[in-house]
Every structure is written in C-alpha cells, then in structure tokens.
Chain A
Amino acid sequence: MPDPNPLLPVSALGVYFHGVFISLTFGLPVAIGVMLWKWWRTGDRDYYRAARLMTAVLGVNFALGAITGTLVEFGLVQIWPGVNLAIATFAFAPLALELIAFANEIAFLILFIVTLGRVRPPVSMAILALYAAFAYFSGVLITAVNSWMQAPWGTGPVAKALYPFMPEYGPTAVDVPKLVAVKLAAVVTGQPISLIVEKPGVAKEVGIVLKDPMVAMYSPYALASVFHNILAAILIGMAVATAGWAYRYFKTGDAKYLKIVKPLAGAFAVLFVIQAPIVAHFMGEMVVEYNPTKFALMEGAEKTFTNPILGLVAYGDPNKPIVGFDQFKQACLSHGNKTVGDLAKALGLPSTLQLAGKSIDLSGVASVKLADLCLADVQRAEAYMPLIHATYYTKVAFAIIGGLAAAVLFFYFYRVPGLSAIATAIAKLLGDERRRVFILALLLVLGTVIPAVAGWAVREIGRKPWTVYGLLYPSELVTPVPYATSPGFLAVLYLIILAVNLGGLYAMYLVATREYKFLELLKRGVGQSP
C-alpha cells in the first residue's frame, strides 16, 4: 500500500483553512443580520455602514471559503480517490443535495451584495436569511458526510465483526459480503481501493453495495454533529466580528463602535448558552456511544477507571466506569483463534474473488487471526492518547474561558440585578472601558477558535487509525500516484495553500481596516467634483 503519511498533514492544513473561512461565512451573516435589524428598527446609518463593511469582508471570505472547499473536495477526489466509492454510495445523497445548497448559496449572496442599500432593510434581511439558510444547509450536508466517516451509519455490525468493542452503526443497509470482498481485495493485492474502482465495468460487476441511499442522512451522530459544528462556526464568526469592532472602539474611543459591539455580544451570548451546555453535551454522548476508542483517548483511559462526574456526564450513571484500552484489548482477545478466512467463509465469500478481470486469491490473508488484527489497530489508536487527551482538555479549558467572557460581556451591557454588578466588578479589573471591552471580546475569540481547532483535531485524529471509523485505513483510500508524495509536489502544495490562505486573510484585514484612496480619481472620472 502507498504511504499516506506525507499527505495527512497537507490535507489537515487545507481542512483547517477551510474551517477558518467557513466559520466566518457562517458567523458573519448573523452579525450582518443583527446590524440590519438595528438599522431597520432605529434608522441609524452607523449600523448600515457596519453591515456594509462586514459584507465586503464576507465577500472575500466567501471566495476563500469556496476555494478551500473546492480544494477539500478535490483533495478527497484526487488525493484520497478511494472515497469515490463512498461518494458513489453513502455520500451520494448529501453531496447531491449539496449542489442545491451551494448553487443557491452563491446566487443569493450575489443578490444580497448587489441589492444591499438599494432595497429596504427587511428585504435585505430576507435575502440574507435565504443565503444563510442555504449556507447552513450546505454545512449540514458536509457535516453529514464527515459524520459518516466518524460513525459509518448503515454498515450495521460490519465494524463490530472485527472489533467486538464497537457498537452497531444503525441498520444494515449494505451488502456486507460485497463490502468485505472489496476491502479484502485491497488488502490482498496491497493496492488502494481506487485501483479497483477505476476499472471500467467493475461497478456493474460488483453491483448494489448500498440498499438505502439516504441512510447517511439519518444518523444520530450526524444530527448532533450538525448542531455542534454549525453553532461553533457561527460563534467563531461572531466572536471575530465582535472583536474587530471592539478593537476599533479600543483604538478610537468612538462610541459608535461600542454601539455595534453591544448587540453582537448579546447575540453571541445567547448562542453560546445553547452551544456549550446543551449541544456539546449531545455531541459528547454520540462520541461515547459510537467512537469508543476516541472517547477513551479523550479521557486518557489507558485502563478502565471510575470517575463519578465523568460517569454522570458520559453515561448518566456516576458509578459506571470509563471504558479504557484494557477492555478493548480484552474484547479483541474474545475472537479466540478465529481468522479472516473464517470471517470470509461465514459471509459466504469464495476463496478466490473474481474482480475487475482479475482473480484475487484470499488465501494469503485467510490465516490471519482476527484477534491480532484487532489488537494491532487498538494499539495504533492508543499511540495517539497523549496528544488527544491534552488537546481535548485544552479545548474544554478555552471553552470555559470563552463562556465566562461571554457572560461577563453580556451582563456588563445588559442590566440584570446582581449579575450585572458582578460582571462590572470583574470587567473593571481589566482597565478602562475601552480596554475591558476589547479584552473580553478577544477572550471570546480565544474561547471559540481554540476549542474549534482543538475539537477538530480530536474529531479527526481521534478516529485514527481509520479514515472511515472501524472500516477503512488511510492507506486504502490514498492515491496510488507516486508524484503525490514527492517532495516537490508537496512543497508546491504547501506553498500554494499557505500563500493563498494567508494572502486571503491579509486581504480581509485590508478590506476591514483601510479606507478607499481612489475615490477622488474615480469621481473625477465620472464627472463629479472630488
């Protein structure tokens, strides 16, 4: 099998940059909507100007989000072509629906940009809401696809057959023998799955693998992930917008900027209350239920242990122990002397597969013990424990900081007896008003960005050694093309990714902070006095 390791970091880099831009794409519409609402209700054009400036930033940001999304999509198709089999099956419905979302997202964004200031605020708000609806729908669908890789819903007991500690992933919507046959063919030939899938006529030869094309859409894991990820992205975008305006207030002391920060901080706090204690909890429950190794990595459970608080949060039972890797290993040993050959026989697979015009002899792997395979993978997962455990608790710590900052800022702005007095006392510790508002807004950014960055790391690295949890390794999905891992190609790829994304971030900064210098020239050009 080709070595996927050089390509994993570059994929992660692309995904992270995409995450940065998507967060703003999701959060800025809420911030712009708040400004349009205030403009509509008060007639104060400062809110309109703020909406307009954020729309300009959204324009650059959207382009970067779209392009990094394209990069991720091409990355999937080109760098990890094995996922084409998933795109043709489980991911087909979400990605097909994504076409609706993406096309309309852009159409309504352009409509919003060109009509902003030309139509009444409620009309602009309605167009913006339609844009945001399609943008969030896009997020729902892409999250569903990612969630399928975290918890391959519809594959029923396939993963459990190899890893006895795994749960069942929903109804069995797959033809298990065919799925296993494709996997075994890749293992036996030592070739990535794409080399099987690419053969003309092989799809007809294999036939129906998935019986319910919509199955990935009703995964409970996806449902929790959708709310968790989208709310997190909105919060990041809003935090960045809030901090941007707070910085302007800090630098100038102009009260009009404080006027903009106040409603943004209010909306942020409301959304944070929904995210942190409610939605994040449901997400955690899904990880406990469907990603046992990931949960153990998060909690550092080398060995099974009891912790009443964790037990209560994770299982609703303070006495239930946190399952550790010792129990996973025990579960692996429960296979006894069963082999891959026994599994193939139980599924009715012949000893020689006929696939893509080739005879594939399974005897090479038939004698491999299931327990050995299972133990090897569990040990590979366990190697990530220090990283995942530290990353997860960093995420938790910063989320708490963000929550506290949101609460202080909210009660500082909005008078609530008792709480506002405490918030004001805390805020006063940070210096004068300009300084305290800016520092609190900055903590909102740290309290959302760091949990999101760390959260994605836990989500993605935590599912290793698999790309599709419990089913497929990165080496089975990676491109077989030798150029892909050559130093030259990787260097160019890194260079382009960094140049485009860092350049884009700088451009957003320029758009947000610089005045136009050429107005006079243009006005002269169109016959107006400068």
Chain B
Amino acid sequence: MNEAVFVGFVGLGLSVTLHIIFTAMTLGAGLIAALYRWIAYKNNDVWAELFARKAFKVLIVSELFSGVWGTIITVFLAGFFTAVTTLATNTLFIPISIAIASIMVRIPAIAISWYTWGKISPRAHSIVMWIMALSGFGIPFGFRAIFAEINHPQAIGYYLQTGANPGWMAYGNPLFWTLYLHTVAAVISTGGFVVASLMALEKDPRGVRVGLTFGFGLLTAQLLFGPLYWHSLGVYSPLLYQAVNSTFLPIFAVKLAAVVALLALGYTALRAAKAGSIAPHVKFLGPLALFVVALGEILNDGARYPNLVIVGDKGLPADLFANFYMDIPMPAVNMILAFLVLSIVVFTTAAFYALYRKFLAEVPETE
C-alpha cells in the first residue's frame, strides 16, 4: 500500500469513526427528545418539555459536526478511492438514495425543530420532531447496506457478474439486518447514556433515570444483536471475523470490557436513579458509551486493513480501488488533516460551552 493509499485509508477510517461517534449521539438523543416533546404536548408536562429541550441540545450541538464528517467521508472516498465510490453509487443506488433522502429530511427538520420550538403549535412541533427523529434511522438504513456489502459483496457480486443493477438486493444481504439492528440499538443506547450524563451535570434525577432507561435498556438488547452480528461475520465474512479475533483481538477485548463496565455501572446507576438519587459515576457513562462506539467502528473498518472489500476468505486490497490518476500531493493532504484536527478542537470548545457551561440558551431570544 503506497503512502497516499495508506493516508486515504487511515483518513477514511478516522472520518468514519468520528462521524459514527457524533451520529450515535444525535440519533439516540433525537429519539428521546422527540418522545418527551410528544409526552409534554400530550400531558402538558413542563418537566418533559424542558427535558426534551435539554436532550435536544446534545443533538443540536453535534449534528452538523457529524454531518461535516459525513461530507469528509464522501470526499475521502471519491478522492482517494474513486473506483469503489463509483462502483457503490452505480450498484447501491437505492440504499444510497434512501440515506440521502433521510439526510435531506433530517437536518432541516432538526434546525426547524430547534428554532420553531414555542413558535408553532405544540402538535405541529411534535410532528416535526418525530419526522426529525425517525428520518435519522433511515440514514444507517441506507449506509449500513454499503458496509454490509463491502464485508460480503452479494449485490455487488451480482452486478459485476451480470451487469444488471441489483435494485433492492442489498437488503437481502445476510449481514445487513444484524448490522442495522446492532446499529439502531447502539445509537439509542449511546444517546440514552449521553443524555443521562448531561442530566447528571444538570442535577436532574428524573432526567438521569430516563436517560439510563434508554441507555441500559438498549444495551441489554445489544447483548443479543452484538453476538449475532459477530457470528454472522464468522459465517459470511470470515476474513474480517478472523482479523477481529486475532490481530484486532486486544481492541475487541477492550471493547468487551468496556461493554461489561457499561452494563455494571449502568445497572447500579439506574437502581440509584429509580431510588431518586444520582450516582456519581453517571456523568462518565456517556463518554464510556461513545468509547464503545468508537472501538466498534475501528473493529468493523480497521480490521479490513489492508483490504477495502472482503469476499469470503479473500480480501480485495485498497490499492485496487485507489486513485492513481495523479500523484496525490501529500504535504497538502497532511496540512488538511492538521486543520481537521483544529476543527475538532474548536468544535469541542463550542460543545463544552454549549453543554457544560449551559451557553446554549433554553430560550434563545431572552436576554
């Protein structure tokens, strides 16, 4: 693997991991916010209104930044891995369209939800919030099909053999549904833990309890979907499965240990929350859940190295799909990576002020 391809591979992996971290926060927090906004409207519940608004802050701060990394992924893919991007767009047209349509609905719905909150009728606002929350799950419904295909190229294989577009075939990929359900449970669980952490900082025991209910509840669901996905990798993508269980075993072990810690700490925190108190470790559960998400993505993507696509027990190296149409200027690429790190610093500062210092006003127009 030459330097440009290696940097492309690592840069792509970094972008995907950061994107997934922020996405996990936003999808889960968005669902919780929509649910409690609806409860507030139905029951005229002031606490639920405030809680929904606070949960939504997590999403508001992180969503656009998650979107940025989504864009960065696209540029990395098209710029560094031209063939695989073109092949995916020509083959997985339907899943990608579903993801794009979902993004198109999701992001404006977020901005509209935030800025029209209290300016339109609660019922209309609740509907916008549900559109916002549910459209978010359409994004992995599209993009996870790509991940399933590069681990087990069923639809792409059909396309390359016949030249015919496989249409919906990607959804018949045996890896897709376990990966998707795994993702859905993970993002709701992560969102719940992040919300619980924020509510602990806000010293809101009821909010902590709600966050932990989602966090811990969906984490237990992961006890089913996680091993199922792992097993299906063993059957349909043995090369990736072997890499996870050998070269990447230390990371896998750390991930499992973190999940066990999250389960144990989540359980004790939930018991305390049900008793009306906030366990001191709750504020660390959100970061711990995000750490688990990051490790999971590193395993799912990094374990493919040096391959970009896995076909059973064979790997198709990244070189096969890489951009050799020009000598990629590496100093420029390194400078770009440095600036991306700067953006992470600036964003983290903004997020700190918004969430921890409560700089994102509950009621934006008041002074």
Contact = CB atoms under 8 A, between A and B. Distances in A.
B78 interface: yes
Q: Which of B53, B84, B101, B325 has the most CB of A within 10 A?
A: B325
A63 B26 CA distance: 15
A310 to B, nearest CB: 41
Contact of A78 (B68, B87, B100, B362): B100
A145 B90 CA distance: 23
A297 B346 CA distance: 48
Interface string A90-130: 00110111111011101111110111011000000000000
Interface stretch (A208-216, A251-259, A347-355): A208-216
A484 B93 contact: yes
A89 B114 CA distance: 40
B115 A511 contact: yes
A13 interface: no
A336 B285 CA distance: 77
B353 A194 contact: no
A115 B359 contact: yes
B221 interface: no
A198 interface: yes
Contacts of A278: none
Given A106-B65, A204-B324, A507 B72 contact: no
B139 to A, nearest CB: 11
Interface in A479-521: 479-484, 489, 492, 496-497, 500, 503-504, 507, 510-511, 514-519, 521
A481 to B, nearest CB: 4
Interface string B70-90: 111011001100111111011
Nearest to A90: B326
Contact of B336 (A97, A199, A519): A97
A88 B78 contact: yes
B360 interface: yes
Nearest to A202: B83
A60 B50 contact: no
B322 interface: yes
Contacts of B75: 87, 95-96, 98-99
Contact of B119 (A198, A511, A521): A511
Given A63-B108, A203-B322, A510 B120 contact: yes
B97 A489 contact: yes
A73 B108 contact: no
Contacts of B167: 483
A269 interface: no
Contacts of A521: 46, 49
Interface stretch (B191-199, B207-215, B313-321): B313-321
A63 B50 contact: no
Contact of A510 (B83, B116, B322, B333): B116
A115 B361 CA distance: 10
B334 to A, nearest CB: 11
B71 to A, nearest CB: 6
B329 A214 contact: yes
A524 B46 contact: yes
A378 B75 CA distance: 35
> What is the predominant secondary structure among interface residues of chain A facing chain B?
helix
B162 interface: no
Which interface class (under 10, 10 to 19, 20 to 34, 35 or more) fits A? 35 or more
Given A56-B364, A87-B79, A99-B72, A482 B346 contact: no
Contacts of A102: 68, 71-72
Given A88-B325, A99-B75, A106 B347 contact: yes
Contacts of B86: 81, 84, 194, 197-198
Contacts, number: 286
B332 interface: yes
A483 B326 contact: no
Contacts of B110: 63
A525 B50 contact: yes
A60 B112 contact: yes
Interface stretch (A64-72, A397-405, A445-453): A64-72
B39 interface: no
Nearest to B108: A504
Given A67-B108, A114-B359, A96 B333 contact: yes
A481 B346 contact: no
A8 interface: no
Given A99-B336, A203-B322, A480 B90 contact: yes
B8 to A, nearest CB: 11
Contacts of A417: none
A78 B325 contact: no
Q: Which of A104, A114, A479, A480 has the most CB of B within 10 A?
A: A114
A84 B85 CA distance: 8
A201 B340 contact: no
A507 B112 contact: yes
20 contacts: A70-B100, A81-B89, A85-B82, A99-B71, A99-B339, A106-B67, A106-B68, A107-B65, A107-B350, A110-B65, A114-B353, A115-B359, A118-B353, A209-B325, A209-B326, A214-B329, A480-B90, A503-B112, A511-B119, A521-B46
Given A66-B107, A107-B347, 4 more contacts: A99-B339, A197-B83, A479-B90, A514-B120
Interface of A: 45, 52-53, 56, 59-60, 62-64, 66-67, 69-71, 73-74, 77-78, 81, 84-85, 87-89, 92-93, 95-100, 102-104, 106-111, 113-115, 117-118, 194-195, 197-204, 206-211, 213-214, 479-484, 489, 492, 496-497, 500, 503-504, 507, 510-511, 514-519, 521-522, 524-526
